[in-house]
């Protein structure tokens, strides 16, 4: 393995993505902080990392655009010399009963969550160095199946299928492929549009009786990205025991 490992974190400018980027940097990795549109937030993450003595830079790309994703990886290799870890946190969530769901919203969510994961994973497996790790993001609602989550869970079910098959396709490469499936986590993406009662009920659902924090999920990612070389082709439920 190289002396300094290099990570790309898609959606690294906020929520879970930011926590992941900062955690991997704290573990000694150089980090590309990907963002879709908010350069200021990405720059904040880079500053937070460099202020702690880490190495990072921000890079914009539409994860559903093949050329832009390829450029994201090329720029990372130019900046840091290679790619060892790719974490796909970029995603969008729209909630509504299936019968009322707007097909354009479904297509938009599919474009980012499924096509985006596909394109980033494709570049990852072409470029990851031996000892590397690809970590995709699913969600615990694939298993929990709550109302209004059908369209969102469908996109993440596709991510799980890609992840499990891709792990087998990389036989002999010394690259692990796993997915993390968070439960209710206190991020803007999760909290948006939810009233206090709904949030309180979600916090009581795990036996630990609290919402997850981005740092909780980042710890799981750091494990898969670093020491967990014998965990491969798995979906890890990082949700405090929600069932």
Among all residues, which ones are annotated catalytic?
A: 152
The span from the CA of 136 to the CA of 228, in Å, is 15
Q: Could you give the strand order of the β-sheet that contains 30-35, starting from the edge strand earlier in sequence?
A: 56-60, 30-35, 6-10, 85-88, 133-137, 176-182, 235-238
Give the closest residue to 222 by CA, choosing from 79, 16, 68: 16
Angle at 75 between CA 71 and CA 79, to 5 degrees: 175
The span from the CA of 48 to the CA of 139, in Å, is 27
Sign of the alpha-carbon dihedral angle for 83, 220, 158, 90: negative
């Amino acid at each position: 393995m190289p002396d300094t490992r290099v990570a790309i974190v898609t959606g690294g400018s906020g929520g879970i993505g930011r926590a992941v980027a900062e955690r991997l940097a704290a573990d000694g990795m150089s980090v590309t902080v990907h963002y879709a549109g908010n350069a200021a937030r990405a720059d904040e993450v880079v500053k937070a990392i460099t202020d702690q003595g880490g190495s990072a830079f921000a890079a914009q790309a539409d994860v559903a655009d093949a050329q832009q994703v390829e450029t994201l990886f090329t720029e990372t290799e130019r900046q840091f010399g290679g790619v060892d870890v790719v974490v796909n946190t970029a995603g969008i969530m729209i909630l509504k009963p299936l019968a009322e769901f707007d097909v354009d919203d479904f297509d938009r969510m599919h474009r980012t969550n499924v096509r985006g994961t596909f394109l980033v994973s494709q570049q990852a497996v072409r470029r990851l160095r031996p000892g590397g790790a690809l970590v995709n993001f699913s969600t615990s609602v694939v298993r929990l199946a709550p109302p209004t989550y059908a369209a969102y869970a469908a996109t993440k079910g596709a991510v799980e299928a890609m992840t499990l098959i891709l792990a087998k396709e990389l036989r002999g490469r010394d690259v692990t492929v796993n997915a993390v499936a968070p439960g209710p986590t206190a991020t803007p993406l999760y909290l948006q549009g939810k009233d206090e009662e709904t949030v309180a009920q979600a916090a009581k659902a795990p036996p630990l009786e609290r919402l997850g924090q981005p740092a909780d999920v980042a710890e799981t990612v750091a494990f898969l990205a670093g020491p967990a070389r014998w965990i491969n082709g798995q979906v890890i439920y990082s949700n405090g025991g929600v069932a």
